[in-house]
Amino acid sequence: MQTLTRQSPPRPILDRAGGDSRFPVSSPLEHGLAALVPVSLAVGYTVSNGVQVGHLVALLLLPVWLSSVARFRGATILLVLCVVAPVSGAVLTLLARSDHTVNNAALVTNSVEIIGLGMGIGALLWSRRVLGGPWVAVLFGVGMTTGIPLGSGLGSENPWRFAFSLPLTVLLLAIAWLLRSRAVAVIAALGLCLVSALNDSRAGSAMLAMTAMLILWQMRPTAAGARASTIRTLLSIGVLGSIVYTVTQAVILGGLLGERTQERTQAQIETSGNLLLGGRPEAGATFGLLTDRPWGYGSGITPNLDDILVAKTGMDAIGYAPNNGYVEGYMFGSSYEVHSIVGDLWILFGLAGAVLAIILLVVTFQSLSHHLARRTASALLIWLAVRMLWNLLFSPVHSSIPLLMLFLAIGLVVRRTDETAVPTGKHIGTITLPARTSR
């Protein structure tokens, strides 16, 4: 008589170091395509008009990854806004053409960039389900390292700060996540922090110090099974952030990171009374422009003289002297660049862009607090979240896109779906018996 054995269906493989899950697949082709996605998106090779090779790969795989989006909290609304925002930017461009010059090339490039962001997020979420978060991050780091710009521009002036720091940080912290070693993660974060500090990267070193502190914070002893509340976790993040800011500023002003860094920091504090505003005077321009035109300007509009004067007035109000080539050439030469994801999205895409920025902020806090409260936050996820908060306020949207994609791809929280829920039925061989129901 043949003995029937009960078998459970395949369960998702859980990565305790990052709270991520992936599902076993049998197709080598699927693995190969899933590996191609992060590498192609991270290299950032542009074909034409802002269209990158990674965008084309994500577009071709659209039927494959589209269903994965709904399985992650916040992913659907993000992708919808990545489609709505370019439409809003185009409409604003049409409305403003009576008193502004239209730049069709900027309209196409800015629109492609945001649509590509949405497709990249969706494709990376599918790759995460196939390969797992750590491998997606490692492959993304490999792609970024392959695409390091060498020998020109700011990269030649300060190679670490403007060329090597971001790709190597992603790659090393991703490897630490793959190894599931918090000790390795702390050592990597502190080592990168030291190198950044010695290469005049004040914000970069502070973010890495914050990352190391939050990894150590997760290792603190508590009662078995205890889970911190979201509010308490966010308060802890705020306290640690204040400590890092205060200590970093004291170290710099004490001259421990070099005379040049000390002089630049002191000058920025004297400009506005605050290191953040002094170091990012574009915030004054953002406030002035959005106060003057809160519904936005348009993704294909070239700033006119009135816009530049409004921006300069806002910058002058915080103590910055705006009559220079940086303001007229870089910030408002052919488009609007206010060195802030929030400001860029709002100005270029109007209220739809502002809503997208708000959702990004909410998702960042949600992801970070979720993983920290459960002690499943990897060093990479923490660093990307901290970097995300900084970029939302103080970095251009154009240069922030790659890290934005990666953070959302590994940081969005998985919904409770049929795939992640434990089935209630019993499996006997290939026959599934229904679960017993109560009457």
Structure token pair of residue 209: 């110090």
Q: What is the pLDDT of residues 230-261, one digit of tens each?
A: 666 667 667 766 666 666 656 555 555 556 66
Rounded CA gap, 253 and 268, in Å?
11
Per the prediction, the chain carries an average pLDDT of 82
CA-angle at 177, arms to 172 and 182, nearest 5°: 100
Query: What Rg value do the Cα atoms of the chain yield, rounded?
Result: 24
Distance CA 178, CA 137 (A): 9
Contact 357, 345 (CB under 8 A): yes
Residue whose pair of structure tokens reads 């795989």 in the numeric block = 61
Distance, in Å, from the CA atom of 132 to the CA atom of 18, rounded to the nearest integer, reads 10
- The burial of 381, by beta-carbon neighbours within 10 Å (0-12 exposed, 13-18 middle, 19 or more buried), is given as buried
- The backbone torsions φ and ψ at residue 44, rounded to the nearest 5 degrees and listed phi first, read 70, 30
Helix 341-373 and helix 379-394, axial crossing angle in degrees, nearest 10? 150
Instruction: Encode pLDDT of 253-298 as tens digits.
Output: 555 555 666 565 565 555 555 555 555 788 889 999 999 999 999 9
| 317 confidence band (pLDDT: 50, 70, 90) | confident
Residues 405 and 387 sit within 8 Å (Cβ to Cβ): no
Task: For residues 331 and 316, give the distance between their C-alpha atoms in angstroms, rounded to a whole number.
Answer: 15
DSSP string, 86-150: HHHHHHHHHHHTTTSEE-HHHHHHHHHHHHHHHHHHHHHHHHHHHH-HHHHHHHHHHHHHHT---
Q: Per residue in 363-409, pLDDT tens?
A: 998 899 889 888 899 999 999 999 999 899 889 999 999 999 999 99
- Residues 148-157: what's their mean pLDDT? 63
Q: Which helix (H) or strand (E) holds 57?
A: helix 53-60
Instruction: Give the model's pLDDT for residue 276.
Output: 55
Cα–Cα dist 163/147, whole Å: 10
pLDDT digits (tens, 9 = 90+) for 79-94: 999 999 999 999 999 9
**What per-residue string of b and e applies to 230-239 under the rule 16 or more CB within 10 Å gives b?**
eeebbebbee
State which amino acid sits at residue 432.
Answer: T
Coil, strand or helix at 438:
coil
Render 289-325 in DSSP notation, one character per residue: HHHH-TT---TTEEP-HHHHHHHHHHHHHTT----SH
- Euclidean distance between the first and the last CA atom of the chain, given in angstroms as a whole number: 35
Dist CA 91 CA 89 (whole Å): 5
